Structure 1
Amino acid sequence: MSKLWGMREVADFLGVPVNTLYQWRTRNYGPPGKRIGKYVRFIPDEVRAWVDAQPSGVA
C-alpha cells in the first residue's frame, strides 16, 4: 500500500485549490476521502480512479 495523501497532495495532483476540495466534500463530490482523526486522507489509487471516471469534455 502506498502512502496516503493529504488535502495538499490531492489539490496539487488535481490542480485545484485546497478550498475547492473542502467545498466538494460538503457537496458529496470529489474523490473519496477518509477521516482519520481530525485529518482527511486519500488513497492515491482511488483519487486516480475518480479522475478516470469523470466525463470528458468541457462543462
Structure 2
Amino acid sequence: MTTAPTERLWSAIDVAAFLGVPIGTLYQWRHRGTGPRAGRVGRHLRYDPADVRAWFNKKAA
C-alpha cells in the first residue's frame, strides 16, 4: 500500500460509500478478485485510498 502518512486507510464502509455501491457488492468483488486491492490490519479489512482511486480510474477507462 502506498498511503501518505497523513491520510488514513479506508474501511470497507468508506470504500462502498465512495464508490456508491452496497457493501455486499464490495465483498463479492473481493471474493472474485475483481475489486480494489485491500489488506488486513489485524482482523480488519483496510483499503488504501490511492489504490481505490487507481482501480476506479482503470475501470472507468
TM-aligned CA deviation for residue 36 of structure 1: 1.4
Distance in 1 (alpha carbons) for counterparts of 2:35 and 2:48: 13
Residue 45 (structure 1) aligns with: 50
Instruction: Give deviations 1:1-56, integer Å, cap 9, x for gaps.
Output: 21000000000000000011111111011110001111110000110000000145
Identity between Structure 1 and Structure 2 (%)? 46
TM-score computed with the length of structure 1 as normaliser: 0.88
Which sections of structure 2, spanning at least 5 residues, go unmatched?
none
10, 14, 29: which one aligns with 1:5 = 10
The 4+ residue runs of structure 1 with deviation greater than 2 A are none
Aligned length: 56
Which sections of structure 1, spanning at least 5 residues, go unmatched?
none
